[in-house]
Each structure stands twice: as structure tokens, then as C-alpha cells.
Amino acid sequence: MKSAEASSQHVSQNDLLAMAYVDPLTGLGNAYDLRDKVRQLADDRASDPAPFTIGLANLDGFKPINDLFGPAAGDAILRQVANRLVACVPDGASVIRASGDEFAFILPLVFERKTAEKMGQMLKEVLSAPFDLGERNVRLSASFGFAIYPFAGNEFEDLLKSADTALYRSKRRGRGQVTVYSQEIAQEMKRSTQLEQALRNAIIADEVDVHFQPIVDLKTDMVVGFEALARWCDPDLGYVSPAAFVPLAEERGFIDSLSETLLHKAAEAALSWPKELFLSFNLSSAQLTDPNTSANVLSIIARAGLDPRRLELEITETAVMMDADIAKKIIAELRLAGVRVSLDDFGTGQSSLGRLREFSFDKVKVDRAFVSQISTDRACEHIVKAIVAMCDGLHLEVVAEGIEHFPEALKLKALGCGMGQGYFYGKPADAITTMRYLAEKYQPGIPAAIAV
């Protein structure tokens, strides 16, 4: 009797031990299983360190799907993901649910970068097919990061960290990306983290400045407004391009604080300008997915004392389409308050004409890619001509960006383009320099190109 009880207890303990290594939702191994299997494989190859690969996959946009359809639907998707991955990995490979919507792979026979990349692309395609939720289907993408032993680490913790770094880079580059860890990527991510910390400190210390570039009426060459542009010069890093730090702030989730600081500075500066001049300011894609953006913008300019009718907000087509419904609501609320809204970089999106039909804009800004070649490329000339004619029919104002030379300005005038900006009319300048120019040279009726 005691022997039977002891045997039963022994089996129960073994079962409990096995359960500790299994994910109950998918039946896959869990994070403990991943750790032990990688360590065992590394030990087996320690004397002759033949490479092997571990990978991480993270589902893009899983949380919104889970929130929208509920936890039961989310669990169903995770089980389907597990089944697909198990069905398509090579013999001898392991699939593990590392945590939440993140899965891991151990690939003993993947020895080098190209094979890892091909594996990632194949798995990405497998996960791109619709997931069945009964009455509906949903689509997701996945991002992948791979690390190859021993080049990316000899110990499990180092190898996992390298795979996670590769995955993080994939997420930064957009949905459905595949990255294999390398020292170059590690250095890139390190520089990015250093830049992030410096930028966060600069925002707190109020070291990110606003410069202003004139926008002119092309019929008269008179200044009619200024576009606010972010500028940052770090004591250690030197001048940092907004093309580097603005996307970084968006990606790391603190674009709101940066944008609000800059808008307040710009609005305060605009108070000192002649009242007929407007201020143009760029909204980020992240702000166009936040239902509170219109209230935040109006609150900032109200605190500064700027009339909403003197503010123009520039948005891109890409930003608008991240969440079209929220973007429409934001645009409608801002325009109702008197703020004007411009569609920036027009002509570069895949369906810009559709955007003009779906959304209410006041102005269109023609992308510099067309403007820079308008005097030498007939195709660019015809494109700009068509944009101007179309906007005239839709009662939209047009601004040409990136005017750098007199022939471009002349051609745009001949085509009937209403406004323009670029180095030919003035480079971005800080608030003090802008005020000095306005105080010394600006007079209604004095052409900007002559006055500058």
C-alpha cells in the first residue's frame, strides 16, 4: 500500500515538474523550457562550438485586436499562431511561447545569417494569412529577431539579449521586419539609446529650440507666415537633425511632450509678429491617433494667447491613415475652432486624391521632390500644374516647398501656384533673428526676396 502511494506521489511530482515547463494555453514550452534547452544545446556544442540560432517573434498589433474582440479571441489567435509555427519549423527545431504574444525558436541547424533571414521571411509569410475567429477573420503581422551562437553570445542570457535587440530593431523599422543580430546593429541601438536619453534631458532642460522659415505669396513675394521647425544642438552630440530626433521621439513615446513644448514656444514667438502673419506647425502621426490632440493644441495656444485663426497645422497622408476615424475627428474639431489644416508632402502618398475627398483641408503643400526639378523636368512641371489646377477647383490653397533657386520660383509663378517657401526666400532662423528681420525689414507690400 505504501509502495503504491509512493509511486502515485512520485508520478504527481513528475507531472508538476513537467507542467512547470509548459505553456497551458498553447501546449508549447515556456520561458523555463527555452532557457534549459538553449543551455543544453550550448553545453553539447561547447567543445566544438558549431553555431545554432535562436529567434524571437512578436505579433504586431496584437493588443488592439485583443482589446477589440476580447481575451477569448486573443487566446484563439495565439493557439493558431502556435500551431502554424510548429507545423512549419524544420525537424529538430523547437517552438516556445516565451511570454504574452511573443514566441521563441531554437534552430539547431541554422548556422548563418542568410539562412536565419530566409527562415524569418518564411515564418512571417505563414503568420500573415488570416486568423479564423468564427464569424470573422483578422490579419496580423509579426516582427522577428534572430541571434546566432556563439557570435551573438556564449551564455543563454547574452544570446537572448542579442535576439531581443534584433527584435527591437525590427519593431523600430516597422511591421513585419526580420533582423539578425550583429555588432553593427548593437552599436546602432546603443547610439539610438544614447540619443534618446540626451533628447529627453534636452526637453526637460528646454534646450530644443524652434526656428522659423518664411512662407511667401508668390504673386507679390510678400511674407504671409512662417513654418515652425524644431532645432536641437546638443553640447556633446552637436547639431542633431530633426529627421533623426523627431522620429525617435515618436517611436519612444514622448513626441507629445516635445511637440507641446515646441508649439508653446512657437505660439509665444508668433504673438510678437504682425497679426496678419500666420504660424504653421507640424503635427506628428502619434498625435493624430490621440483623441485628446485637438483639446491639447487649443489649450496650448490659449495659454500663449494666440488666436486660433492664426494657426495652421500640417499633417502628412501617412499620419492621417494610421487611424483615419480619429484623424477626421481631430481635424474637424480644430477647423471648427478656426485652426487651418494643411496636407503636407502632397504627391508622395499612394492615394493622395482619396485623402482630399475624405478629409477637409484648407491647404495643400506640394512636396519638394517635384519643386526641385520643376524647371528641368517636364513631368514634374505637368504634375505641379495639375495639382495647382485641381486645388483651384477644390478651393484649396497651394504651397510649394523647397524653392531654392530663381528659375523654380519663376516657373511656379507662371503655373499660378499661390504660395512658396524654401532657401530662395529665406532659411529657418531662430525667434530673435526672425523678430529682428520683421522689425527692420518687414512691411506689407515689400517683397520678401528683396527684403531678406
Q: What is the pLDDT of residue 11?
A: 53
Each residue of 304-342: pLDDT tens digit? 999 999 999 999 877 777 778 888 999 999 999 999 999
How would you class 281 by CB atoms within 10 Å of its CB: exposed for 0-12, middle for 13-18, buried for 19 or more?
buried
Q: What is the pLDDT of residue 333?
A: 96
Say if residue 162 is in the same domain as residue 244. no
Is the predicted pLDDT of residue 202 greater than 50, yes or no?
A: yes
Is the predicted pLDDT of residue 351 greater than 80, yes or no?
A: no
Per the CB < 8 A criterion, the answer to whether 26 and 79 are in contact is: yes
Is the predicted pLDDT of residue 7 greater than 60, yes or no?
A: no
pTM of the model as a whole: 0.71
Say if residue 442 is in the same domain as residue 364. yes
Q: State the total domains in the chain.
A: 2
Q: What is the pLDDT of residue 452?
A: 44
CATH assignment at residue 343: 3.20.20.450
Q: What SS3 state is found at 372?
A: coil
Say if residue 130 is in the same domain as residue 93. yes
Say if residue 249 is in the same domain as residue 150. no
Q: Which of 128, 146, 181 is the last residue of a domain?
A: 181
Best CA proximity match to 80, nearest among 129, 150, 31: 129
What percent of the chain has pLDDT above 90? 63
Say if residue 145 is in the same domain as residue 33. yes
CA 180 to chain centre: 21
Handedness of CA 233, 237, 238, 240 (dihedral sign): negative
CA 262 to chain centre: 19
Q: What is the pLDDT of residue 451?
A: 43
Is the predicted pLDDT of residue 1 greater than 50, yes or no?
A: no
Is the predicted pLDDT of residue 6 greater than 80, yes or no?
A: no
CA 144 to chain centre: 18
Alpha-carbon Rg for the chain in angstroms = 28
Q: What is the pLDDT of residue 445?
A: 59
Does residue 229 lie in a domain region? yes
Does residue 187 lie in a domain region? no
Q: Is the bond into 71 cis (omega within 30 degrees of 0)?
A: no
Which pLDDT band holds residue 63 (cuts at 50, 70, 90)? confident
Per the CB < 8 A criterion, the answer to whether 420 and 400 are in contact is: yes
Say if residue 232 is in the same domain as residue 370. yes
What is the domain extent for residue 363?
192-451
Say if residue 154 is in the same domain as residue 239. no
Q: Which range is least confidently modeled, 39-53, 92-106, 112-126?
A: 39-53
Other CB atoms within 10 A of residue 45 CB:
15
Q: Which of 152, 181, 210 is the last residue of a domain?
A: 181
Best CA proximity match to 74, nearest among 88, 89, 64: 64
* pLDDT average, residue stretch 92-101: 94
CATH assignment at residue 163: 3.30.70.270
Each residue of 264-285: pLDDT tens digit? 999 999 999 999 999 999 998 8
Say if residue 151 is in the same domain as residue 215. no
Is the predicted pLDDT of residue 450 greater than 50, yes or no?
A: no
Rounded-to-integer distance, Cα 351 and Cα 347, Å: 9
Say if residue 163 is in the same domain as residue 209. no
Cell 490621440 belongs to residue: 290
Say if residue 98 is in the same domain as residue 222. no
Does residue 186 lie in a domain region? no
Q: Which of 157, 181, 205 is the last residue of a domain?
A: 181
Say if residue 271 is in the same domain as residue 374. yes
Does residue 406 lie in a domain region? yes
Say if residue 174 is in the same domain as residue 260. no
* pLDDT average, residue stretch 220-231: 94
Q: What is the pLDDT of residue 358?
A: 73
Cα 60 to Cα 63, 128, 213, distances in angstroms? 8, 11, 38
